[in-house]
Amino acid sequence: MFIPAFDEEESITAVIEGVRENIPGATVLVVDDGSDDGTARTARGAGAIVAPLPVNQGLGAALQTGYLFGLKHGFERFAHLDGDGQHPPAEVVRLLAEVEADRADLVIGSRYRDPDLAEAEDYRPSRARRIGTDLFRYALSFATRQRFTDTTSGMRAGNRRAMELFGEYYSPDFAEVESLQRAVRAGLRVEEVPVRMLPREQGESFLSPVKSAFFIFKSLIVILVGMFRPRHPNGAGGDR
Amino acid sequence: MNPILAAAAEPTVSLSTQTRVIAALIAIGFMVFILDLIRRGRLQERYSVIWFLAGLALLAGAAFPGLLEVLASALGVRDTNVALFTLLILFLLALAVNFSVIISGQAKQITRLAQENAIAKADREFPGGSGKSGGESGDDGAAE
C-alpha cells in the first residue's frame, strides 16, 4: 500500500491510520514528493515507511517510486490512494479484493461508476471539473474501446503485472489517463469499482483553471500519441 | 529610375570593407567566447560544436559575402535578406527543439535519481523485504 503525498502534513496521519485499521498487515509506504512541510516526519510518526523524493517530481514520478519499491521487495499486490484524505481506505479493501480474486490486473476506484453512490452527498465535482472528466472519459473510452467512467482517479490497486508495466515507464506528470491507456494496450485486465470519495480535508487541489486546461490538452495529446504506440502483446515486462 | 527597383534589379550583396571587418571580428570574438566557456567548464564540449559551427558560418559570411547569394538562389529567393532570415529562424527553431529534447532527457534522469534515492532511504526503514518490521508482514506480502 503506498500513498503519494505532497505537503499533506495535516491529513496524512488520518489516512495512514485509516489504512492500518482497514487493511491490517499492510506495509504502508508514503512517497513524499519533496514536501516543504513535515509530511515525512508526520508519516513516520504514524508508523509508515517513508520514501522521500529530494525534490518535487510530480505525482507520476511519486507513484512510480511506489511501484519500483514494490517490485524491488517482491510484493504481489499494491494499492494506492491520495494522501489528502479524499479516499476512504475502507473502499480500497474492495479494490484489493478484486485483485486478490484475480479478476483484474488493475482496479480503479471510480467516483462515477455508480451514480447513487457518487452523487449522494459526498463528492460533488465542480462544473469545470465535470467537463474535463467527461472529455477524458470519452477520449479514453474511444482510444481503448473499453468503458471508463473515472479516468483520473488516484485510488487504484493492482498486481505484479501492473507494477511491472508502471515501474518500467510512468509519465512523470499527472499521468492517470495515459497509464490506463497503456495498461489496456498492454493487455492487462483493467476494471473499475464504484467507490465513495470525500471532499478534500486539507490543502488545495492542484488544479487551477489554467493548469486544468493545460492538463487536459496535454493528456489528450498523450492519448493520441499513445494510440500509435506499439502494443506489448505479452503485457509489461515479458510473460512472467 | 526608381532606386528601389534599381536595388531589386541588382541582387549582389555588397558589404563595405568596414562592415566585413566588424562581422569577422564579431565571429572570431564569438568563437573565442565559446572556447573560453569550455575552458572554464561552463559549457560541455558536446554542446559547443554547434555554436562553434555557427561562429564559422558567421566568419564565412564576412569573408565571402557572395555565399549568401548562392544560398538565396539555391532557395529560389530573390531577396538575400529573406534567405538569411529564413535560414536563421530555421536554425534557431531546430536548436530550440534540440534543447527541449535534451532537457526532457535530463528531467528523466533527475527523476530516476530522485526515485533511487527515495527508495534507498525507504529501504533503511524496511529491512530487506524479507524480515518483519514492527510486526508488519505486508498484505501485498511475499507470503503470497
Q: Are residues B41 and B17 in the same domain?
A: yes
CA distance A4 to A103: 26
**Measured between beta carbons, which residues in chain B are less than 8 angstroms from residue A64?**
115
Q: Which residue has the higher pLDDT, A141 or B81?
A: B81
Residue B32 lies in a domain: yes
Instruction: Report residue A98 as a C-alpha cell.
Output: 478484486
User: Where is average pLDDT lowest: A49-53, A124-128, B84-88, B108-112?
Assistant: A124-128
Select from A32, A53, A71 the residue whose CB has the most chain B CBs within 10 Å, as the one to mutate to test that interface: A53
In a domain, B60, yes or no: yes
User: All domains of chain A, ordered by start, with CATH?
Assistant: 2-226 (3.90.550.10)
Place of cell 538562389: B73
Q: Are residues B4 and B59 in the same domain?
A: yes
Q: What are phi and psi of A81, to 5 degrees?
A: -145, 165
Write B28-36 long-range contacts (CB < 8 A, 24+): B28/B55, B28/B59, B30/B54, B30/B55, B30/B58, B31/B55, B31/B56, B31/B59
Local structure of A79: helix, strand or coil: strand
* Range from A70-79, A133-142, A181-190 carrying the lowest mean pLDDT: A133-142
Contact B125 A49 (CB under 8 A): yes
pLDDT given at position B78 = 84
Do both B1 and B60 map to the same domain?
Answer: yes
CB A164 within 8 A of CB A172: no
Predicted local confidence at residue B134, as pLDDT: 33
Low-confidence ranges of chain B (pLDDT < 50): 129-144
* Least confident range of A21-25, A159-163, A205-209, B74-78: A205-209
For A49-58, A91-100, A176-185, B14-23, which range has the lowest pLDDT when averaged over its residues? A176-185
Same domain, B47 and B98: no
Which range of residues forms the domain containing residue B86?
Answer: 79-124
In the DSSP assignment, the letter for residue A116 is: H
Put simply, the answer to whether B115 touches A47 (Cβ < 8 Å) is no
How far is Cα A232 from Cα A228, in angstroms, rounded to an integer?
Answer: 12
Q: Is residue B132 in a domain? A: no
Q: Which of A95-99, A140-144, B84-88 has the lowest mean pLDDT?
A: A140-144
DSSP assignment of chain B: --HHHHHHH-------HHHHHHHHHHHHHHHHHHHHHHHTTSS-HHHHHHHHHHHHHHHHHHH-THHHHHHHHHHT-S-HHHHHHHHHHHHHHHHHHHHHHHHHHHHHHHHHHHHHHHHHHHHHHS-TTTS-BTTB--TT-TT-
- pLDDT of B28: 92
pLDDT at A74 over 70: yes
Q: Is B144 domain-assigned?
A: no
Alpha-carbon separation of residue A223 from A6, A174, A176, A233, B92 (angstroms): 26, 13, 11, 19, 29
Comparing A72 with B3, the larger pLDDT belongs to A72
Mean pLDDT of A128-133: 67
Same domain? For B58 and B95 the reply is no
Our count of domains for chain B comes to 2
* Same-domain check for residues B48 and B99: no
Task: Determine the pLDDT at residue B90.
Answer: 93
Q: Do B45 and B85 fall into the same domain?
A: no
Does the residue B135 lie in any domain? no
Q: Which amino acid is residue A51, in one-letter code?
A: A
**A240 confidence band (pLDDT: 50, 70, 90):** very low
- What is the pLDDT at residue B142? 32
Cα–Cα distance list, A127 to A70, A82, A148, B93 (Å): 37, 22, 19, 39
Q: What is the rounded CA–CA span in Å between residue B14 and residue A180?
A: 62
What chain B residue is nearest to A93 in terms of C-alpha separation?
A: B139
Pick from A24, A53, A70: which is nearest to B114 by CB? A53
Supply the mean pLDDT for chain B: 78
In a domain, B12, yes or no: yes
> What is the per-residue pLDDT for B79?
84
Handedness of CA A76, A8, A5, B135 (dihedral sign): negative
One domain, residues B90 and B41:
no
**Per-residue model confidence as pLDDT tens digits over A192-223:** 777 777 665 444 555 566 766 777 777 777 77
B50 plus B15 within the same structural domain: yes
Task: State chain A's mean pLDDT as an integer.
Answer: 74
Instruction: Give the pLDDT mean for A94-108.
Output: 85
Q: Do residues B10 and B54 share a domain?
A: yes
Q: Has residue B138 been placed in a domain?
A: no
A53-67, A107-121, A171-185, B106-120: range with lowest mean pLDDT: A107-121
Q: Same structural domain for residues B103 and B59?
A: no
Show contacts of A200-206: CB within 8 Å, 24+ apart. Answer: A200/A84, A200/A85, A200/A86, A201/A10, A201/A11, A201/A14, A201/A84, A201/A85, A201/A86, A202/A8, A202/A10, A202/A11, A202/A84, A202/A85, A203/A7, A203/A8, A203/A10, A203/A11, A203/A84, A206/A174
- Crossing angle of the two packed helices A209-226 and A127-144, in degrees rounded to 10: 0
Query: Looking at residue A175, what is its pLDDT?
Result: 66
Contact B129 A53 (CB under 8 A): no
**Contact at CB, A65 and B118, closer than 8 angstroms:** yes
Asked whether residue B137 is domain-assigned, the answer is no
Report the alpha-carbon distance of residue A226 to residue B57 in Å, rounded: 40
- Taking an 8 Å cut-off on Cβ atoms, the answer to whether A51 and B129 are in contact is no
State the complex-level ipTM: 0.72
Q: Are residues B13 and B55 in the same domain?
A: yes
